[in-house]
Structure 1
Amino acid sequence: MGRVHFIGGEKGGVGKSLTARLLAQYFIDNATPFMGFDADESHGTFSRFYKDFSAPLQVGDYDSLDNIITTAETYPDHDLIIDLAAQTAARLGQWINESDVFGMFTEMGHQIFIWHVMDDGADAMSLLDKTLESYPQQDLHFIVVQNMGRGEHFEMFEQSPVFQKAQRRNAYCMTLGKLHPKLVQKVDFNDLSFWAAANNRDLMNTPERQRMRVWLDNTYAQLDHFLKHDEKP
């Protein structure tokens, strides 16, 4: 059956949409069927780059949120990517708890992945602690993404009680490498998917395409670790 990926972090500007886009490209490159939901009403970054795979999501509207469940029922073999906007955790959590969303996913045979994308600030670490406390269910998969594009010093986090708490929850910690700023800007201004950035000879020169391929390969290797070895029934 499918998997449901809530890509969050609660804090703005830490790379949530970047992570959602990366996961979408990973699924495309691995021929994994998926559908996405973009909850960022102000920017809609995920839907801008992967519009053929995404639908808008209003976290404050239960009817809109319920479409996640309907989609999981309609496409049981698809992975779902939910790209969450900043400061949506409380409203999302209310919907999850009032509707027993995780219970419904479990009955459908779906696995649930809670992604926390973070920079190296203390507030991002505190928000991870709140996320771990908010979801005590033991059958959840936690993914902590340390975004090197938004911070270079995660040593304090890795020595913290929050990191130890995440480890006790069997959270997988992955590192999202930093892309060259000029390359990021070029991808953004040309509305390129990561595949296009790695292959489009008209817009990207050879070193740029190679840097993108190296970045994707390094990140894909980490995604393989907990997605390819976590076979769907």
Structure 2
Amino acid sequence: MSTIHFVGGEKGGVGKSVVSRLLSQYFLDNGLLYAGFDADQSHATLTHYYPEFTQPIVLDDFESIDQLIEMASEDDEKQLLVDLPAQSQRFLDRWLEDSGVLEMCDELGVNTLFWYVVDGGRDSVMLLRTFAQKYGALMPCVVVRNHGCGSDFSDIDQVVAEAAAPRLLAVVDIPELHVGTLHRIDKLALSFWSAINQKSSTGAQLSMMERQRTKVWLRKASQSIEVALQRL
């Protein structure tokens, strides 16, 4: 059974693209058939780090986003991931509602899963509450507490506890990666696999300890991802 993964959170700067990159690396490391879709036309982050697996998609163009369903309905079991930009929920809502996407996925035997990334800030709290009210009973979702962008998630936890969201599968934590290490990975445009394994005579690589920190961080993040996927 194929799964369409939406990675969002509506608020900018909460680390949605980092979570998309982590999921991409998880799928590839586990030998799963995977395709990424970059919906951010101004900052194509997923395309930048995983170009051989990623293609652009336009959320407000039904013909463009319809390809998700076409690909998911094929025989091979795939993991299809959509990296959503900030302030894009209204476009996704329109496609889901006008096209009856969730009902069609149920008929086709296609899973959907929304990874909702939060930083614990006031805007993130309010947006999560709105999302849970709309989709908490309609679509499986995972709340991702990104410790690289926030540290106090008590208000997020309260929203989760109060939400009537029977399809909330899990609340998972992504640990913080040392800021300097993440900046170097980004500067060198490395996938997380390359960050750990690539060695270059030109200096386009991480130091030994940077590679070690990235390896530990990736392992912890992958464990969180696995917990959520086991509940799907």
* Shorter-chain TM-score range: over 0.9
* 2:129 paired residue number: 129
SS in 2 for 1:74: coil
Q: In the TM superposition, what is the alpha-carbon distance from 1:205 to its structure 2 partner?
A: 1.5
* 1:164 paired residue number: 162
* 1:35 paired residue number: 35
In structure 2, the gaps of 5 or more residues are: none
1:59-208 maps to which residues of 2 (within 5 A)? Answer: 59-74=59-74, 76-138=76-138, 140-158=139-157, 160-165=158-163, 168-202=166-200, 203-208=205-210
Q: In the TM superposition, what is the alpha-carbon distance from 1:94 to its structure 2 partner?
A: 0.9
TM-score, normalised to structure 1's length?
Answer: 0.92
* 1:213 paired residue number: 215
SS in 2 for 1:127: helix
Contact kept in structure 1, 2:137 and 2:167, CA below 8 Å? no
Q: Which moved more, 1:69-78 or 1:15-24?
A: 69-78
RMSD: 1.7
Q: In the TM superposition, what is the alpha-carbon distance from 1:209 to its structure 2 partner?
A: 0.7
SS in 2 for 1:105: helix
Q: 1:224 aligns with which of 208, 223, 226?
A: 226
TM-score, normalised to structure 2's length?
Answer: 0.92
Deviations 1:106-160, CA, capped at 9 Å, x for gaps: 112111101110111011011111111222544x3211111111111112322x2
Deviations 1:169-189, CA, capped at 9 Å, x for gaps: 433111111111111111111
Amino acid at match of 1:155: S
In structure 1, the gaps of 5 or more residues are: none
Contact kept in structure 2, 1:125 and 1:162, CA below 8 Å? no
Contact kept in structure 2, 1:39 and 1:84, CA below 8 Å? yes
Question: How many residues of Structure 1 are paired with residues of Structure 2 in the alignment?
Answer: 228
